[in-house]
Amino acid sequence: MNFDLKKIIYFAFFFTLAAGLSSCVDQEFTEPPTDGTPLDVEANTTVAELKALYVPGKLTKIEDDIVIRGVVVADDRSGNFFRSLIFQDESAGIEVLINLTDYYNFYPIGRELAIDCQGLYLGEYNGVVQLGGYTYIEGGSEQLGDIVDFNQRISRGMLIGTPEPAVRTINSLGTQDISTLVKLENVEFAFSEVGLTYADAFGRQTLNRTIQDCDGNTIVLRTSGFANFAGDTIPEGNGTLVAIYNVFGSTRQLYIRTLDDLQMNKRRCSGATGQEQLITIAELRDIFNNGGTAGPADKKVQGVVISEKDNGNFDRRNIVIQDATAGIVVRFSIDHGFGLGEEVEIIVSGQKLSEYNGLLELDEVDNELAVSKGFGQLPIPRQVTIKEILDNAESWESTLVKVSGAFFSDGGTFSGEQLLMDATGQIDVFTRSTAAFASAALPVGELSIVSIVSQSGDTELKMRKLTDIESEGQPNPDEASLAEIRALFNSGTTLISEAKKVRGMVISDKDNGNTPVRNIVLQDNNGGIVVRFLDPHDFALGEEVEVNVTGQMLSDYNGLLQILDVPNANAISFGPASSPVTPRVATIEEVLANSDAWESTLIKINDVVFLDSGTFSGAHVVNDGTGEISIYTGSGASFADEPLPSNEVNITGITSEFNGAVELKPRNASDIGG
């Protein structure tokens, strides 16, 4: 949902009302208090009949003498609603725009109201019909304004009690429920969001969280950064949720009024409680070694992912994690998204322990039982001989090892079982035919190899990527600065013929959609560059990444220099950057004057003004008094539909180029305004 200066928050919701209102829905009220004066105004139109007067695509003036009567089901007491109350009768609900803050003092939840609608206007905001007071022109289009003369328009009655919400399921919510109070039962927050906050209370940013049922159906819970519970943490349990139902285009949304609308203290659909205690992976393996077939009750393990999901040598349902004591394979119910180096916490209570061809697995784990804790510290591979691996196969299973002074006994490619030998023995290295490096030629001569100890009947090793192998006696790639790599480019395409690698911090943001999924923008102390991989990557904003660029091509794409079609296996993460990049503060004039040198680096421009209105989607020109530059946001960005600010703001973004024009690309909504 978007916000403008007229609406910090947008709402519309879904519920059913009771007590004294005859309806086709369940209606019950708590004991009515005696506060207020009984209404002496009768309704001549239902809310549903009023909404039916709206002419789609046109602000519709109400010409007839129309009075509606109903109850307030959402107010602004908690801050999750702003200058907009939700009003409902026995037929439907409607959002009423009102030019008043702290209006809960006059029109609280449970207060019966009558509204004189003659002369007011009906409008629609992305699928939600609203009742407003006047129209005005903004951004070249007609907009709906608040009701200003509310004292003359709205008659207050008794506090008749809080309406009982209509019980619905996620899938049964429909257009008839918009702007009404509803209740969902047996639902929970997505496990990956447990422990997060409802919204960004510090930055005053509205956030979406995911509500799901036990069948996997989902809906958005949207919370304003101004809500007094924005900074509270999301509960882990399952239970009931009462909220206002709303839509934003095709997106279905819920808004709660207070935390009392949530009662989530039951076990989750998966059986997890959120109170599990940590045990080591070695302790978990010992349970199986002593005859156990399931993880112990109320326990979890935590380890770093040492397998690689993107290169095809591991099943997409499997990860291998390792802690300080041991390692284990975890096989999920469906494909996972955990990348090499992520620290993952997994609830093991009651989960199946079994062997597959001799390899111990935690099997068929519900994906929601695993949550990323961010990037951890990859274990240092154990330096061993092949004989030592074979002698310690059970205890070293699913851990990283490094064998030096080894060689492959035959030629050919990696695909299948290839015999690796050293002075102490021999072992198979297994590569699936689906691995990205399966068809690569086996190296000749002595080498060192990093791999995971595994089993398929017999003990074997499994590599993650080609860079797990180093030819001994051969020079490793030299580290080059990004400025040095950029200087190699002539025109068209240029081969990086020498053995080179680069290292820097990812300044692009894969999670917010304003960078192509195959691209990262990397910056070091000397410059920046776009790295375009062969496949979508998992490198997040702020990671320190090393990329082997030996033999890769430099290419000019619409004026923007990039390292083209890099195999994903050529890149490795070192976790959060040890020296984070600080945006260069500059004027637009300076950015334009230094566009080549500053391309693909992080810039902050202060005190800029957008020269047009609308949303962020597309290219928009800004001015800071020294010049003008385009700010570009792709339509797929998470903030593309947010309204452009009308006041001066500071903008952080990545300098880019498109067809000869310099532009700035913000990475996420936080890049605007700070």
What's the pLDDT band for 17 if we cut at 50, 70, 90?
very low
- pLDDT score of 24 more than 60: no
What's the token pair of residue 449? 């190899």
> How many whole angstroms separate alpha carbon 313 and alpha carbon 645?
48
Q: Which domain holds residue 177?
A: 166-266
Statement to judge: residues 391 and 370 lie in one domain? no
Statement to judge: residues 388 and 367 lie in one domain? no
* Domain termination site, one of 375, 408, 433: 375
For residue 134, tell me if it sits in a domain: no
The whole-chain average pLDDT of the chain stands at 90
State residue 371's pLDDT score.
87
Statement to judge: residues 367 and 403 lie in one domain? no
Statement to judge: residues 285 and 256 lie in one domain? no
* Domain termination site, one of 347, 375, 403: 375
For residue 556, tell me if it sits in a domain: yes
Domains contained in the chain, number: 5
What's the token pair of residue 648? 């001066």
State residue 551's pLDDT score.
76
> How many whole angstroms separate alpha carbon 73 and alpha carbon 87?
6
What's the pLDDT band for 494 if we cut at 50, 70, 90?
confident
DSSP character for 29?
A: B
What's the pLDDT band for 27 if we cut at 50, 70, 90?
very low
For residue 202, tell me if it sits in a domain: yes
* 638 alpha-carbon distance from chain centroid: 9
| Rounded mean pLDDT, 271-279 | 83
Q: Do 213 and 187 touch, CB atoms closer than 8 A? A: yes
Check which CATH number belongs to the domain holding 245 and give it.
Answer: 2.40.50
> How many whole angstroms separate alpha carbon 171 and alpha carbon 364?
27
State residue 300's pLDDT score.
95
> What whole-number percentage of the chain has pLDDT above 70?
94
For residue 15, tell me if it sits in a domain: no
> How many whole angstroms separate alpha carbon 658 and alpha carbon 635?
16
211 beta partners = 189, 219
Statement to judge: residues 201 and 287 lie in one domain? no
| Rounded mean pLDDT, 20-30 | 38
For residue 486, tell me if it sits in a domain: yes
Listed in sequence order, the residues at least 6 apart from 52 whose beta carbon sits closer than 8 Å to its beta carbon are none
For residue 516, tell me if it sits in a domain: yes
Listed in sequence order, the residues at least 6 apart from 95 whose beta carbon sits closer than 8 Å to its beta carbon are 11, 12, 84, 85, 86, 87, 128, 129, 130, 131, 179
State residue 472's pLDDT score.
64
- pLDDT score of 32 more than 60: no
For residue 64, tell me if it sits in a domain: no
> How many whole angstroms separate alpha carbon 365 and alpha carbon 334?
9
Selected residue with higher pLDDT from 17 and 323: 323
* Domain termination site, one of 247, 266, 285: 266
Work out the angle at residue 672's Cα, subtended by the Cα atoms of residues 663 and 641, and round it to the nearest 5 degrees. 85
Listed in sequence order, the residues at least 6 apart from 105 whose beta carbon sits closer than 8 Å to its beta carbon are none
- pLDDT score of 492 more than 70: yes
Check which CATH number belongs to the domain holding 588 and give it.
Answer: 2.40.50.140
> How many whole angstroms separate alpha carbon 314 and alpha carbon 435?
8
For residue 517, tell me if it sits in a domain: yes
| Rounded mean pLDDT, 152-161 | 93
> How many whole angstroms separate alpha carbon 76 and alpha carbon 74?
7
Q: Do 386 and 421 touch, CB atoms closer than 8 A? A: yes
DSSP character for 540?
A: P
